[in-house]
Every structure is written in structure tokens, then in C-alpha cells.
Amino acid sequence: MTVTELVSYEDALASYDPVMGLEVHVELGTRTKMFCGCSTALGAEPNTQTCPVCLGLPGSLPVVNATAVESAVRIGLALNCGIAEWCRFARKNYFYPDMPKNFQISQYDEPIAFDGYLDVQLEDGEVFRVGIERAHMEEDTGKSTHIGGATGRIHGASHSLLDYNRAGIPLIEIVTKPITGAGERAPEVARAYVAELRELIRALGVSEARMEMGQMRCDVNLSLRPHGTETFGTRSETKNVNSLRSVERATRFEIQRHAALLDAGEKVVQETRHFHEEDGTTTSGRVKEEAEDYRYFPEPDLVPVAPAREWVEKLRAQLPELPRVRRNRLREEWGVSEHEMQSVLNAGAIDLITATVDAGAPADQARKWWMGELARRANEQGSELSALPITPAQVARVCALVAEGSLNDKLARQTIEGVLAGEGEPDEVVERRGLKVVSDTGALGKAVDEAIAANPDVAEKIRGGKVAAAGALVGAVMKATRGQADAARARELILERLGVQG
């Protein structure tokens, strides 16, 4: 089905209710792999971080990573899940080139965490509760690079290269219960859920959850059912969606595609699909297996995992302040609206602003610079705010220089520009570029006298009582000093020279 055959989003929602299921894979930030001691560090030469265990060689035996188990329990607790007193690993059997063993060690009917929920806040403040079916431990696959062809996928490729460095990296898969009742807001709910989950994972410190690096990936399961019916329709599963925007777009596209098929009297095929960032469409991958097709059976080489209750409760007591609670607290402390706080969240600026405040800046000033000048530069570069080469401490110092009168806003922007260019700390940039505000009476007085002499008609208006006209002379002073004059002091001197009370 081509894009031109899609029904409109409004028409799709007029006839059908969307049902979603979101499966999110999170790579844990452990030093070693899930079942062996190989390094998980990024950037190594292909196939240099492997061993008999993660390559699945005969006679090798896996050992569970204790840190990964702890991370799984902490994630489960933060998601309001029950934690299993006893659970097992299972073998999920299927052949794929990047599966060295031809099976994946995962958890099937006995996950470590189950039956939880996550409350997510939409942009208008509405809170939507997403039920969590399970969170379970497993290992990642290797990486296939398809050579030749136009799409970078296996179709049309001349050959493929396999890198098993990633094979065996610890994963947590978090699976929602069927999400119903979202209606036309289903794409927004999907995006908000993944965004909130990412913030939670980062708050726990178990993963950086950088979607652009594959550390967090979302599979979007979607089906439609006619209004007034309870039976779920046939679902599609859009695999490995790796940005918040793409999660929303993939959900929206699949709603329109399913509706077009159903309206035409055709059947929806249960299959995996690929999302295409360039045009927001999905294309068919492979027919989706059912659970029995994976031939699950208990992993014979691993003992069951039985978290002690005392240990679980200790971990519960150590949970950090969760993101939504923290946002509400900061929103009150900063005195901003829910809409403004949502903008800060969308920009990925909460931690940056908080760290800037902790470094001594007023909250309104920290928010002003991160959400203004710095957000603009990040957008121009197509990068995350956190990727800019400037620290919260440096932004706080710029705020301090403005507060003490050494810089005005224009000079502060130039200072930030210098820091971003690698010219040093804010004070060094100010010194090297000669950016300090001119406020001493000598230099400033000269510029004021020249402005008055060059604009006698304006000076006469001010003497006549039109004090507001002083703004024109202040502008002339600012121009003459290349924006470095202390505007307030310049105005005082202008009125003083003209014998007018301010």
C-alpha cells in the first residue's frame, strides 16, 4: 500500500479505536555483558569483544550479571511492578545471522517484574496511565551491516558483515499491557510514554537511554477495532523505532494504513515493519511469529533467580525521586506553568537548568539561557542541548557576570559564542574579546557627550520634558560603544548632562 492510498487520520479515528502495545528495549550500562565478562564499551574494532560464551561455542557456560539483575529490579520497582520471588531464564529459538547461538537467552513466562504502571503527562496536563505487563531480562543480538543496495537493508545487498561485539549486552525489555482509550491522542500517548520511560531510566542511572545510539529502542504494536467492539484487531509491529518523534509518526502512519486496509475490505497482515525516517512511512519486514514458534524452554545452564525480599525492599528504599514527581517540584520552585515545564522537558533541559541553578544561577536566568540562546544554537546544529560544548557551571558564570553588571545580554551572547567556540572559560572569553560593559564615567561620559552633540533636536525634546526620548540617545551610545555601554548608567548620565530629573 502506498502513502497516497492512506485514509486521513480524522477519517480513521471516526471509524476505529486504536489499540497499542509498546515494547521498549533498554541496553543496561553495565561494564560487562549479560552472561560473560566481555566488555560492553562502544567503539571497539568489530568482533574484538567476544568470547566462547557470547559466541555460543560448544561447552561454554553462561553466568548471570549481578548488576543487570539489580538494574532490572530497580526498573521494576520504579514502574510499580511486583518483583518475582523466583524466576527463570528461557531459550528463545530462532535463526538470524546476528544470533551466534541461534537462540537468545531471555525470560518467557516467568519475568522478574510484572503487573505495574507508569503515569504519563500529556502536553495539556492530562495524565494517562499506561499499564505495564512485564519487564524481563535478556541479551542483545549482534549487528549486521548490509553492503550494496540502496536502502542499507538486506534486500538488494550483495553481502553482509557481522559484528558480535554487541551480542550478549544486557537488555531489559519493558512490555505494556494493551493501551486502549487513547483515541485520537494515541500517537501522543505513545510518544509521552517513551519519553517518560526514558527519563525514568536515566534517573535510575541504569542506562543513558540514548535512542539515537540504539541504547533504547521501541517496537510499536498497533491494531484497530471498529467503534463499539471489544475484540482486538490484527496487529502490526513496527520494529526498532529510535526517536520520540518517530514513535509518534509511526503510530500515526500505522493507524492510517490499517484503516485504509479495513475500509477496502482487506486483511491486516500480522508482521513486523520497518519505519522510514525520511518520509514517516513503514514497509513490510517479515511475517510475525507467535510465541510457540520460538519453541521456548527453560535455559538448562542457568539457575533460577530468586531476589531476597529484604534486598528488594532495600532497593525500593533507595529509589531516587522519580521524574514526574521531580518535575512537579521543580515547576513550583521555578514558578513556571505546566506548558513551560513541558517545553523544558521536550528540549531535554531539566538536568542542565537544575545543574546551572546548583552552580549559583537564578532559576529564571538559567532557564532563559538554556531555552533561548543555547536551544537556538542546538537547533541550528541539529544536536541535543546536552551535546553543546558548554557546561552548566559556565552558563552560571555568564549569569553572574550579567548580574554584577560586567555583561549585558548582547555581550553575554558573545561570551557564550566564545565558550562554544572553545576559547576558554567565560572570564577568559570576556578578557580576550574585550567584552566588558563600559560603565566608568570617563569613557561612558565621552560617548554620552558625543551622542548629545550629534542629536541636538532629541536633546532639546528631553530638556522640554519628553524624558522617553532619552532612549534614542541611549541607542546612539550603545552603537558608539559596540553594545558595551551600561545602558542604565548611560541614561543616568544623559539626563544628568541635560539637567533633567529621571
For the segment 41-65, the average pLDDT, to the nearest whole number, is: 95
Cβ atoms of 379 and 385 within 8 Å: the answer is: no
C-alpha to C-alpha distance for 412 and 390, rounded to whole angstroms: 14
How many Å apart are CA 235 and CA 20, to the nearest integer? 9
Neighbour count for residue 499 (Cβ, 10 Å): 8
Please count the other Cβ atoms lying within 10 Å of the Cβ belonging to residue 393: 15
pLDDT band at 155 (very low <50, low <70, confident <90, very high): confident
Please indicate whether residue 286 or residue 192 has the higher confidence score (pLDDT): 192
- The pLDDT of residue 3: 44
Mean pLDDT, rounded, for 369-374? 95
96-134 pLDDT, tens digit per residue, is 788 888 899 999 999 999 999 999 988 888 899 999 999
Residue 7: is it exposed, middle or buried by C-beta count within 10 angstroms (0-12/13-18/19+)?
A: buried
pLDDT of the residue at 149: 73
pLDDT digits (tens, 9 = 90+) for 308-325: 999 999 999 999 999 989
CA distances from residue 46 to 37, 240, 302 in whole angstroms, order as listed: 17, 22, 28
Q: What is the pLDDT of residue 476?
A: 77
Q: Identify residue 144 by its one-letter amino acid code.
A: S
CB 175 within 8 A of CB 182: no
Q: Are 250 and 258 in contact (CB under 8 A)?
A: no
User: Which residue type does 131 have?
Assistant: G
Q: How many Å apart are CA 501 and CA 179, to the nearest integer?
A: 67
The DSSP letter of residue 485 is B
Residues 76-102: tens digit of each pLDDT = 999 999 999 999 999 999 887 888 888
Please report the pLDDT score of residue 290 as a whole number. Answer: 63
Residue of higher predicted confidence among 24 and 470: 24
User: Tens digit of pLDDT for each residue in 396-417?
Assistant: 999 999 888 888 888 899 899 9
Taking the chain, what is the end-to-end CA distance rounded to the nearest angstrom? Answer: 72
Residue 169 has phi, psi (to 5 degrees) of -65, 135
Element (H, E) at 163: strand 159-163
Which amino acid is present at 277? Answer: E
Long-range contacts of 42-48 (CB under 8 A, 24+ apart): 42/213, 44/165, 46/161, 46/163, 46/165, 47/162, 47/163, 47/164, 47/165, 48/165
Q: What percent of the chain has pLDDT over 70?
A: 89
17, 264 Cβ separation under 8 angstroms: no
| Residue 153 CB partners (closer than 8 Å, separation 6+) | 146, 274
| pLDDT at position 299 | 95
Residue 15: what pLDDT? Answer: 95
DSSP class of 29: -
Chain mean position to CA 225: 31
The yes-or-no verdict on residue 203 having pLDDT over 80 is yes
